[in-house]
Structure 1
Amino acid sequence: MKLDLVVRAARILTLDPERPVATALGVLGDRIVGFDEEIAGLEALRTEDFGDATVTPGLIDAHCHTAWWGLGLAAIDLAAARGLDELYAMIAAEVARLDALGDADAWVHGTGFNQSHHDGAFPDIARLDELTGNRPLYLRHTSGHASITNSATLRLVGALDPGFADPVGGVVVRDAAGRPTGLVEEAAQGLVQALLLPYSTERLVDALEAATSRYAAQGITSFTEAGVGGGWIGHSPIEVAAYQAAAESGRLHARAQLMPAIDALRPLAGHAADFAREGAGAGLDLGIRFGFGDELVRFGHVKVFLDGSLLGATAAVTEDYCGHEHNTGYLLDEPAVYRERALAAYRSGWPLALHAIGDAAIDLALDVIEEAQERYGARAVPCRIEHFGIARPDQVERAARLSIAVTPQAGFIGPLGDQMAARVGAERESWLYRGRSVIDAGILLAGSSDLPVADNDLRRGMQAAVDRRTDSGAVLGAAEAITPEEALRTHTEWAARATGQIADKGTLERGKLADLTVFSASPLTAPRIDELEIVATVLGGALSHDARSAAS
């Protein structure tokens, strides 16, 4: 027998306790067939020898927003602005560019706004109107839970009309005189997005190719897209078709697991035996549910937004935000509505992924998951709480009892940690984006970037999980620090378990997909994980990224 590929390196870290380290790995088709002595003497069509580098299981980003980020690559990068004058200059330059193209109807798009880069200030709507005139404007906050618009956009959505009412779960923010400030929060963003949606499949494929080629350069072989097809997070009613088209045309450079937004689900009916206990459930047409798909594009959990963001002080908390008297954020809908919709999805075969950042939202998430499991039984794949941002000690204990997986973002600690700590104050700071306490409780800790809220340099995120250091040099919750091996497992084994894919990925074992990340040195022993280079990325035995060829 001739193998398709043999991979050699000084260290192959399998994360499999039966064979933790190897120096050679054999691949047939897109699967691993053996290591070291098991493949000794076998010929291969090709060999990749990575010398002194270290090979690990392919990195998994368990929660990100790939289409959103890919589409935003062509927008103004507001994250680079420091001070509102610089931001205004960026907008003016974009307006001039669009004017030169002669496209009178083109929108001004920007992404990555963070008020902390502007001493806490937001753009003045009068200044934005002066710069943009009648052009619609859509600037996305880095959290994704707010946007900044101008009067032209607000006029299009009817927000300037007498009697306008905010939609459920969102707010068009107004000043003391009742005039819109240009800030649009949470579900109210859907009013603006309705003017832009749906994106064409072709444009989405372009965005996915642009995004996932960059994923490969970061060592990422799999990701979970946290919301498609509905709500303010979706981009098209047929968004899944874009992922399929990208995969079929070789333009998807990492494996995609797709979470349908709960808004994309609809009532299901079928044989009485299928719904004997409580009538129709909720799901996708034809009864498609979790796990449907193939190795490149597959359905994951159903995504449910319970609250907003910590940076925008819209996450639902039980105590006021610091400096925001009588502000505890808010749930995006009534608890009874969430309970009804989430239970219908769960009983139809969809494990739940509940976005809950504030501790009040986490309480609701735990209640819903507990009721779902008590009424319909626990699933083989764990329900998830996305972010688990401000988690009280009792909530950690309860999540462990319910066998829930959580996905806090260690990558937030550097660029956003100081802001988050200021929002919650010293008494709650140790509850933020936990690590050590989650692992010690026996909870699956899945690593994720939440791109584009933070970047998807997972090496930086892993280093932050280890040292918990913010950009100011402060340490955020020192007791929550984890080890380098645990940090690696959050983006490999534990992410695979939390996404229900451990049979195919997460560790390097015979029969599993040949998805590999090649580091310049071992992430377990390097002085800093974030200083390691990604030498190569292997997806199913094929190179999806090779820094060696770029350097030669």
Structure 2
Amino acid sequence: MTTVFTGRIRPFAPSTDIEVEAMAVDDATIVAVGSAEEIRRTYPDAKMVALDGWVMPGLIEPHGHPGFAAILLSDLVVDLRPVVVPRAEDVVAALRTAVAEADGEPVFANGWDSLLQRGLPDPDIRFLDDLAGRVPLVVIHNSGHSVYFNTAAALAAGIDRTTPDPVGASFGRDAEGELTGVALEAAAVEMVVAPMLATAQEHLPRILPAHLRDLAARGITTVSDLSWNRGLDPLIDALRAKGAMPVRLRWYEMSRPGGMPSARGGGDAFFRQTGVKTWSDGSPWVGNIATSFPYLDTPATRALGLEPHHIGRANYTSDELSAIAESYAAAGWQLACHAHGDRAIDATLDVYAQIIARHGLTDHRFRLEHCGAMTPAQFERAASLGFTVSLFVDHITYWGEVLVDDLFGPEHGGAWADAGAAFAAGHRVTFHNDGVGHPRRALPQHGSRRDPHHPQRVSHARRLTGHQGSGAPRAHGERGLAAVQRARGWCPRPRPLRGLHRGGSRPGHGVLRRTRRDAGEVHVRGRCASGLTRCHRPSSSTDSV
């Protein structure tokens, strides 16, 4: 049965200030939007529902990690993130308390960040052994790109001095080859946290749906998981069977040297693989991004253990990166590559340009993720090759001063995640929240705490489209994720759209409404056409933050 909704409807296509009077929903799919007269004429037998508010598309999180975030934000892990525990002494106190209360069981913590929690000790294996003794203790860095562990945790994970470094990752070792208690990059980090992931399995039926509902409650109706664990597939299937899937999931498998791609296929509108995640370099917060310029010599960089004039390196050589990407690209998969440093971005563009030419790829939609030190010329080259870019703007919101004052100086740190250059190059830019190092918000704010009116500030309209229409092509879902959406997402309970600001000064007026589903009909006040968020008093598209 077709239902026609009339009222203030903003499809955000072709622009954010377009408003139409009606939309038609048939078989849980929005099939048409337009004037009330033309929609009524096209669907004369449809049920009519008049709206008393206004409607907009749901938000798309183009780069998240909900499968892992559900664990890190649960009661299984001690939350040390600077947004929760800002003072160094309180971080150490929280770890001591957790160890004392563990009754010998392993302790896992997340969020250690010496750049924001000034005064933290060096978390080497000796410090953690003194703190935890025989209790296995694992502390994940706020970036997710490194992890610290004590001797008991190394034993629990089966890691010792003879354990070889995985390709693209490493374990810290002293001059005698003994472990120093740090693992860098995904493959090594996974080995250390494997016991935590094993313990979490029995809790996932509780914590993963709760995390997905939380995303939906913030207005996010589609999320891409760029480190999906295939072991979670049966849980998602069970949620789908019960009709309890609150968001759509687009997932990316993590690439491995010598890895073979999964078979393509699957048209499930709520859950399907979209591509493959690759890495070119690491995180600026731990010193392992590949740049053409050095880190500054400051107390902050010394606290990171970086030598004066340190320059990071890529995770892989160009040949290794090509070997990883080749089989996936040849099988037709979209590649999403994590790259921060300008040298890492050059290497990625060079390698992927060769793959594009070799296979005659046209609609590849290869992705560059984060793009911290990406230059205007690199944005232009990426656009000419058909790449899309997604910026991690919370690097500016939370670490903006750190980037300039402590790590790279104004020339490089002041142009971090340069949205202005990306838009000037013609990109349909998307913005993402990434992991769990900061509060989850519907729309991240593109501006530093020091200067909310930074020249790189992004307009309200561009922030919205960066989380709506621009995000859909990246996930190969123009018809399923943007203005035309499937109808089973959640419209959340009333709360402000956090992160929406007018003039960078106060919260916006968007209010989200909880909905229900009645007798199989699709309602906007009841169960709304999924992906649509019911709001009041839209902010002007000229507002900036």
> TM-score, normalised on structure 2?
0.82
Q: Give the Cα–Cα distance (whole angstroms) in 1 for the partners of residues 15 and 244 of structure 2.
A: 35
> Which residue number in structure 1 is paired with residue 539 of structure 2?
none
> Which residue number in structure 2 is paired with residue 536 of structure 1?
513
For 2:116, the aligned partner's letter is H
Q: Does 1:367 align with 2:369?
A: no
Corresponding residue SS for 1:188 = helix
For 1:85, the aligned partner's letter is E
> Which residue number in structure 2 is paired with residue 30 of structure 1?
28
Q: Does 1:116 align with 2:122?
A: no
Q: Give the Cα–Cα distance (whole angstroms) in 2 for the partners of residues 522 and 197 of structure 1.
A: 31
**2:472 aligns with one of 488, 496, 500:** 496
Cα contact 2:111–2:142 (8 A) shared by 1: yes
Q: Give the Cα–Cα distance (whole angstroms) in 1 for the partners of residues 80 and 500 of structure 2.
A: 35
> Which residue number in structure 2 is paired with residue 385 of structure 1?
368
Q: Which moved more, 1:245-254 or 1:119-128?
A: 119-128
Go from structure 1 to structure 2 and tell me whether the alpha carbon gap of 1:144 and 1:501 turns closer, same or farther (over 3 Å shift). Answer: same
**Offset of 1:17 from its aligned partner?**
5.7
**1:426 aligns with one of 399, 406, 410:** 410
> Which residue number in structure 2 is paired with residue 228 of structure 1?
228
For 1:225, the aligned partner's letter is D
Instruction: Give the alignment of 1:47-446 within 5 angstroms.
Output: 47=49, 49-51=51-53, 54-72=54-72, 73-74=74-75, 75-79=77-81, 80-99=84-103, 104=104, 106-119=105-118, 121-124=120-123, 125-157=125-157, 161=161, 163=162, 165-174=164-173, 180-186=179-185, 187-198=187-198, 203-229=203-229, 238-263=231-256, 266=259, 282-284=260-262, 288-289=263-264, 292-323=266-297, 324=306, 325-421=308-404, 422-446=406-430
Go from structure 1 to structure 2 and tell me whether the alpha carbon gap of 1:151 and 1:338 turns closer, same or farther (over 3 Å shift). Answer: same
Q: Give the Cα–Cα distance (whole angstroms) in 2 for the partners of residues 207 and 149 of structure 1.
A: 25
**Offset of 1:199 from its aligned partner?**
6.3
**Offset of 1:457 from its aligned partner?**
0.5
Deviations 1:519-538 (A, max 9, x none): 96999994458544441377
For 2:430, the aligned partner's letter is A
Cα contact 1:313–1:423 (8 A) shared by 2: no
Go from structure 1 to structure 2 and tell me whether the alpha carbon gap of 1:346 and 1:86 turns closer, same or farther (over 3 Å shift). Answer: same
For 1:499, the aligned partner's letter is A
Q: Give the Cα–Cα distance (whole angstroms) in 2 for the partners of residues 439 and 194 of structure 1.
A: 40
For 1:82, the aligned partner's letter is P
Corresponding residue SS for 2:400 = helix
> Which residue number in structure 1 is paired with residue 537 of structure 2?
none
Deviations 1:257-280 (A, max 9, x none): 0001113984xxxxxxxxxxxxxx
**2:442 aligns with one of 425, 443, 458:** 458
**Offset of 1:395 from its aligned partner?**
0.9
**Offset of 1:202 from its aligned partner?**
5.2
Deviations 1:308-354 (A, max 9, x none): 10111111212211224342222223321220120111011112111
> Which residue number in structure 2 is paired with residue 273 of structure 1?
none
Corresponding residue SS for 1:56 = strand
> TM-score, normalised on structure 1?
0.81
Corresponding residue SS for 2:418 = coil
For 2:247, the aligned partner's letter is A
Q: Give the Cα–Cα distance (whole angstroms) in 2 for the partners of residues 537 and 256 of structure 1.
A: 21
Q: Which moved more, 1:337-346 or 1:201-210?
A: 201-210
Go from structure 1 to structure 2 and tell me whether the alpha carbon gap of 1:525 and 1:310 turns closer, same or farther (over 3 Å shift). Answer: closer
Q: Give the Cα–Cα distance (whole angstroms) in 2 for the partners of residues 2 and 396 of structure 1.
A: 44
**Offset of 1:483 from its aligned partner?**
2.0
Go from structure 1 to structure 2 and tell me whether the alpha carbon gap of 1:14 and 1:265 turns closer, same or farther (over 3 Å shift). Answer: farther
Q: Give the Cα–Cα distance (whole angstroms) in 1 for the partners of residues 9 and 117 of structure 2.
A: 46
Corresponding residue SS for 2:115 = helix
Go from structure 1 to structure 2 and tell me whether the alpha carbon gap of 1:46 and 1:221 turns closer, same or farther (over 3 Å shift). Answer: farther
For 2:146, the aligned partner's letter is A
**Offset of 1:21 from its aligned partner?**
0.5
**Offset of 1:154 from its aligned partner?**
2.8
Q: Give the Cα–Cα distance (whole angstroms) in 1 for the partners of residues 14 and 510 of structure 2.
A: 24
Go from structure 1 to structure 2 and tell me whether the alpha carbon gap of 1:520 and 1:127 turns closer, same or farther (over 3 Å shift). Answer: closer
Cα contact 2:59–2:221 (8 A) shared by 1: yes
Q: Identity over the aligned pairs, expressed in percent?
A: 25
Q: Give the Cα–Cα distance (whole angstroms) in 2 for the partners of residues 513 and 335 of structure 1.
A: 44
Structure 2 unmatched runs, 5+: 298-305, 517-521, 535-545
Q: Give the Cα–Cα distance (whole angstroms) in 1 for the partners of residues 202 and 188 of structure 2.
A: 27
> Which residue number in structure 2 is paired with residue 15 of structure 1?
13
Go from structure 1 to structure 2 and tell me whether the alpha carbon gap of 1:318 and 1:242 turns closer, same or farther (over 3 Å shift). Answer: farther
Cα contact 2:64–2:435 (8 A) shared by 1: yes
Cα contact 2:326–2:355 (8 A) shared by 1: yes
Q: Give the Cα–Cα distance (whole angstroms) in 1 for the partners of residues 91 and 214 of structure 2.
A: 26
Deviations 1:359-412 (A, max 9, x none): 111112101221111011224241101111110222112101101001111233
Cα contact 2:246–2:490 (8 A) shared by 1: no
Cα contact 1:58–1:537 (8 A) shared by 2: no
For 1:474, the aligned partner's letter is D
Q: Give the Cα–Cα distance (whole angstroms) in 2 for the partners of residues 48 and 181 of structure 1.
A: 65
> Which residue number in structure 1 is paired with residue 451 of structure 2?
474
Q: Give the Cα–Cα distance (whole angstroms) in 1 for the partners of residues 390 and 283 of structure 2.
A: 15
Q: Give the Cα–Cα distance (whole angstroms) in 1 for the partners of residues 178 and 87 of structure 2.
A: 24
Corresponding residue SS for 1:257 = strand
**Offset of 1:126 from its aligned partner?**
4.2
Q: CA RMSD in A?
A: 3.5
Cα contact 1:16–1:507 (8 A) shared by 2: no
For 2:437, the aligned partner's letter is V
Go from structure 1 to structure 2 and tell me whether the alpha carbon gap of 1:415 and 1:524 turns closer, same or farther (over 3 Å shift). Answer: closer
Go from structure 1 to structure 2 and tell me whether the alpha carbon gap of 1:514 and 1:438 turns closer, same or farther (over 3 Å shift). Answer: farther
Deviations 1:388-437 (A, max 9, x none): 11102221121011010011112332112222333221221243112121
Corresponding residue SS for 2:479 = coil
Go from structure 1 to structure 2 and tell me whether the alpha carbon gap of 1:71 and 1:200 turns closer, same or farther (over 3 Å shift). Answer: closer
Corresponding residue SS for 1:222 = strand
Deviations 1:488-509 (A, max 9, x none): 111001110122111222225x
Q: Give the Cα–Cα distance (whole angstroms) in 2 for the partners of residues 98 and 547 of structure 1.
A: 43
For 1:97, the aligned partner's letter is E
Q: Give the Cα–Cα distance (whole angstroms) in 2 for the partners of residues 85 and 19 of structure 1.
A: 49
Corresponding residue SS for 1:493 = coil
Q: Which moved more, 1:183-192 or 1:201-210?
A: 201-210
Q: Give the Cα–Cα distance (whole angstroms) in 1 for the partners of residues 258 and 438 of structure 2.
A: 28
